[in-house]
Amino acid sequence: MAVDVASRYARGSAMPSGARTPERRGGACRRPLGAEIRAGTSPAATERVRHLPRRWLGAAVLAWAALGLLGCAGGSAAAPSAAKQAAPASASGQVAGASAATAADRVLYIGGIPDQSTATLTRAFEGFARYLSGRTGLIVKYAPAADYAAIVTAFKRGDVHLVWFGGLTGVQAQAAVPGSEALAQRPRDAEFHSKFIVQAGLPAQKLTDLKGLTFTFGSESSTSGHLMPRYFLRQAGIDPDKDFKGKPNFSGSHDKTWKLVETGAFQAGALNEAVWESALKDNKVDQTKVREFYTTPPYYDYHWAVRGDVDQVFGAATKEKLRQALLGMRPEHGPEAQEALKLFATDRFIETKNENYEGIRQVALQLGILR
């Protein structure tokens, strides 16, 4: 099951921490994330409680209330044992002074930029989490993000640890989290492209033909859906903020971009080549209504990046375990690996490094998207 860590943070809620004891929020006692499951409110536990005698149920309720009051008390009541007390949290949100056993129980959260539909992303990343758990022995879960900015912020806070970034968000993450490292990419990501599409009945054949048309990018933080298309438009002499009919739109994701052009909401747009080609292969696109007409020159784009402190948080050699699991992933490793690789539109991942995205950083600085 996906744990919506990053999107909850985007809405201003608290991120999950390692604390397992009741917490105070505004003077009230609030149970930590997952406490309902740990307290035994699973369907099986509920069935067992239903068959208890009434007098036992009454006593159990009173005992549970008393324990809750002790947990919410201001510290005057002693906990049953020191081992059950929550360790002090550091500024990064990680528990300080934890033992190796505690580290082994921690959840390593993975995430990714929300560049496609929620259903597609959930299938891809939950399968990926199961694969990584099996290969590394770590507890791995998927944390969906509300938008591109949310996943970068969650990575900065240490609420997600391994993230599938685009080139631009990866550069932003590198700047926000010193020591973070790009580990792996698909072979195609070393020479990625954006596709420009237009309504089928329009005569556009080159970028300058887009002048005077309505236009939609993807997300504002997307490399292939905004940054590089904007860069190549500028190279062709088109100012996207002045030369289109009205201000350009931002669809939020690549699949929405081609759908907006297909339905006639916008006359043209730009998107990720992998999403476009996958949609064509799956016969999702009505090519009597929308067509591609221009492919950009290549650039580095998507990659897996890891926080620099994962060895300290999860144990020695964790980063190397993740690197080897990513680089060794193949379809024959099971249904999770096969499905995840298919949804990532690749058959494997290859090594990459932070320096590969310097060109992306320079373009973002030039366009004023990074400062």
Q: Give me the pLDDT at residue 14, please.
A: 38
Residues 180, 306, single domain; the answer is yes
Segment 203-216 shows an average pLDDT of 97
Identify the CA nearest to 267 among candidates 207, 197, 220: 197
**Alpha-carbon Rg for the chain in angstroms:** 24
Q: How many helices (H) and strands (E) does the chain have?
A: 15, 13
Give a yes or no: residue 24 inside a domain: no
pLDDT tens-digit readout, 67-125? 443 344 443 333 333 333 333 233 333 323 334 446 668 999 999 999 888 999 999 99
Give a yes or no: residue 328 inside a domain: yes
Residues 290, 197, single domain; the answer is yes
Identify the CA nearest to 347 among candidates 121, 187, 189, 194: 187
Q: Which residues pair with 19 in a beta bridge?
A: none
Q: Which residues pair with 294 in a beta bridge?
A: 196
pLDDT tens-digit readout, 10-45? 443 333 333 333 333 333 333 333 332 233 333 333
Give a yes or no: residue 344 inside a domain: yes
Question: Cα–Cα distance between 347 and 337 in angstroms, integer?
Answer: 9
End-to-end CA distance of the chain: 38
Which structural domain range is residue 218 located in? 193-295
Q: Give me the pLDDT at residue 336, please.
A: 87
Residues 104, 142, 186, CA angle at the centre, nearest 5°? 105
Q: Give me the pLDDT at residue 26, please.
A: 39
Contact 149, 1 (CB under 8 A): no
Identify the CA nearest to 304 among candidates 251, 370, 356, 365: 356
Residues 317, 168, single domain; the answer is yes
Residues 282, 199, single domain; the answer is yes
Residues 162, 284, single domain; the answer is no
Neighbouring C-alpha atoms within 13 Å toward the C-beta of 152: 17
Residues 278, 308, single domain; the answer is no
Residues 163, 289, single domain; the answer is no
3-state class of 371 per DSSP? coil
Identify the CA nearest to 121 among candidates 156, 146, 139: 146
Q: Taking all residues of the chain, what is their mean pLDDT, rounded to a whole number?
A: 80
Which of 274, 295, 316 is at the close of a domain?
Answer: 295
Q: Give me the pLDDT at residue 105, please.
A: 84
Residues 260, 217, single domain; the answer is yes
Segment 343-367 shows an average pLDDT of 96
Percent of the chain whose pLDDT exceeds 90: 68
Number of domains into which the chain is organized: 2
Element spanning 146, H or E: none
Q: Look at 22-26, 64-68, 305-309 and tell me which has the smallest mean pLDDT.
A: 22-26
Give a yes or no: residue 146 inside a domain: yes
Q: Give me the pLDDT at residue 371, please.
A: 82
Measuring CA to CA, how many Å separate 9 from each of 15, 146, 159, 160?
Answer: 6, 9, 9, 11
DSSP string, 214-262: -EEES-TT-IIIIIHHHHHHHHTT--TTTSSSSSPEE-SSHHHHHHHHH
Give a yes or no: residue 284 inside a domain: yes
Residues 231, 258, single domain; the answer is yes
Residues 179, 227, single domain; the answer is no
Which of 295, 312, 332 is at the close of a domain?
Answer: 295
Question: Cα–Cα distance between 276 and 254 in angstroms, integer?
Answer: 8
Residues 165, 238, single domain; the answer is no
Give a yes or no: residue 335 inside a domain: yes
CATH number for the domain that contains residue 166? 3.40.190.10
Question: Cα–Cα distance between 202 and 214 in angstroms, integer?
Answer: 12
Which of 275, 295, 315 is at the close of a domain?
Answer: 295
Give a yes or no: residue 69 inside a domain: no
Q: Taken in order 130, 132, 135, 139, is the CA torsion positive or negative?
A: negative
Residues 144, 131, single domain; the answer is yes
Give a yes or no: residue 46 inside a domain: no
DSSP string, 189-210: GGGB-EEEEEETTS---SGGGG
Q: Tell how far CA 267 is from the center of its chain.
A: 30
Contact 108, 139 (CB under 8 A): yes
Identify the CA nearest to 300 among candidates 229, 239, 228, 241: 228
Q: Which residues 6+ apart lie within 8 Å of 308 measured at CB?
A: 177, 178, 179, 180, 181
